[in-house]
Structure 1
């Protein structure tokens, strides 16, 4: 059992004179994300009746900050330097080591002697064993090869580079020769620093999004499904999420009329969330999102498991914030449906009721549109 629970600290909050800023960190990200994050941060400021201060500028502020980081804050020293004391100070999360914010923590190492980064908590894998797919995380090419061979006994393997997002950086491996070729093409230092994930490949996949956001006095919890789309190069990537959002915690969400597969996804996300809270000291987050895959394993058995977590602003955040706005506007509202959309190409039609957050020629991805839709529940 994990015994590394977060230390109790005084909740300081940001105060009513705080200013909301986007914190790009070391990687400012692509243009479409920078512009979208600016707009969402502006809405987060409005929800809390705070000033929006644009992008973070070091040394500029003499007031408390509420940060909207592009990535999770991955060291406690960075959080302290930025004045982040608890979840009331940011839209996202703080972890004690960089790997804790990545999909690397979802699976165990292949052996007791396998390479592990500083701070790795081996008990976490046992805590989430029933909530994830069969898989391993490796921090060396040798461990990755051993893990891949073991998983190939179950059927095809999905291999994922840890830092890739939106469905990129993945490969389906069916044989030991394919595994060897794939690993020969990988950057050893990238794997050593960030890890490589290998897990059972599923067919006919549905990806659920389950999450919770706490902003000021508002708490919302949701489940939904993700959509895939083709980007301008023809690659299949994340295309948005359709969410059902309840006012309150996960119990309020489970009180809605959910299908059995959705209830299982919520339960698996809760199990993963509890394990993170108990196994990783000083972790906290105001935005918690979990991707859960459901599909057919070899032999036709249906499997479901958490793929990864997101404790930062993400693809579903426009839908989350739209829900927060609806709940704030109507205190009697108990549930709402919201959707985030990402589409590529200059001539793609978006629904007339969609609110556009970004539309234009991204230097890296080409022409794309990002928007959000709000609909009544039921």
Structure 2
């Protein structure tokens, strides 16, 4: 496969060591597998892990976490064409805390916090607040408890980890004790309306140099080897091009609402942080019933790094590259636990092995190019 406008000498590297994605060997191995697939898309060699001490004139990098401006500059990343991921001016922008404003009268906030952003996005996200002190967290919870249960979320948790539903002041105090004042000041915490009967949409846009696609879809859960409910994959409708092309197709009303929320949130981030840029954008948007019976739909969080849906994203881009007339596909990712996992013959396996902490796990993706269900 020949990718258009490939720079002579282009090579692909991964860059490991980010805080968010360095949870286990299976994440590292999955990232390398997806990096190999991106290299094929770009018709470029995959050269392993990036080393600051060994510079290459034409690297394309795949970091395992969202980068700071300083890290991006150190790696030679200056634009979207240089990497698969995102760059933010402050660490908190890459975490869940950016999805909410501070509670009224809040006294604690990190340097660079955009006070006006919370008000602008308040109708795009679930009711909630971010807090960076115990007093602010208790004030936020007291306001939210008036309308039902409250979910506490740690800023950098992935796949539903680092979350709990809190019912009263003592439960909140115990959670804050576990977090610790120093971490609370440095990273913050999210307090948010808890939803029932929730459906979580994924809305995203990816661009790997000349290759571009956008999508919407739904996430599904599975049981891991310890019996916990965790992320089990995503089923996506992917179109060639940007968000305008995506909104031009037929879809359910909730999906259209989720895309609108995600696009508006993305625009608000750009306006608040002009230095932000990303080639991979994924937004989780939840729709469900609040404790007072209201139907609520709002952005939960953002991901500007290689993630759980990236196998489907990259698979769709490769299919589009092979067939310039193709405009729309269905793509899915699956994460299945245990030794006996049935993988479809047409699937691309992104990881299969036994992680020291997670146990036996298989990850794969499929791409379906026809409405009738034939796969490619």
How would you bin the TM-score normalised by the shorter chain? over 0.9
Give the equivalent residue in structure 2 for 1:67: 61
- TM alignment of 1:165-244, pairs within 5 A: 165-244=158-237
The number of aligned residues is: 365
Residues 123 and 148 from structure 1, CA distance in 2 versus in 1: closer, same or farther, beyond 3 angstroms?
A: same
The DSSP-based 3-state class of the residue aligned with 1:253 is helix
Give the equivalent residue in structure 2 for 1:47: 41
- TM alignment of 1:6-25, pairs within 5 A: 15-25=7-17
Check whether the contact 1:294–1:304 (CA below 8 A) recurs between aligned residues: yes
Mapped partners of 1:214, 1:370: distance in 2: 23
Deviation at 1:377, TM superposition (A): 4.7
Structure 1 residue 330 corresponds to structure 2 residue 323: yes
Mapped partners of 2:332, 2:15: distance in 1: 25
Correspondent of 1:258 among 244, 251, 262: 251
Deviation at 1:26, TM superposition (A): 4.7
Check whether the contact 1:19–1:63 (CA below 8 A) recurs between aligned residues: no
Check whether the contact 1:36–1:357 (CA below 8 A) recurs between aligned residues: yes
Deviation at 1:214, TM superposition (A): 1.1
The DSSP-based 3-state class of the residue aligned with 1:137 is strand
Deviation at 1:39, TM superposition (A): 1.1
**TM (normalized to structure 2)?**
0.94
Deviation at 1:260, TM superposition (A): 0.4
Check whether the contact 2:6–2:42 (CA below 8 A) recurs between aligned residues: no
- TM alignment of 1:1-378, pairs within 5 A: 15-27=7-19, 28-74=22-68, 76-378=69-371
The DSSP-based 3-state class of the residue aligned with 2:111 is coil
Give the equivalent residue in structure 2 for 1:5: none
Deviation at 1:35, TM superposition (A): 0.8
Q: Alignment RMSD, CA only?
A: 1.5
Mapped partners of 1:107, 1:26: distance in 2: 23
Check whether the contact 2:81–2:279 (CA below 8 A) recurs between aligned residues: yes
Deviation at 1:149, TM superposition (A): 1.3
Give the equivalent residue in structure 1 for 2:374: none
Residues 360 and 105 from structure 1, CA distance in 2 versus in 1: closer, same or farther, beyond 3 angstroms?
A: same
**TM (normalized to structure 1)?**
0.93
Mapped partners of 1:215, 1:82: distance in 2: 18
Residues 97 and 356 from structure 1, CA distance in 2 versus in 1: closer, same or farther, beyond 3 angstroms?
A: same
* 5+ residue gaps, structure 1: 1-12
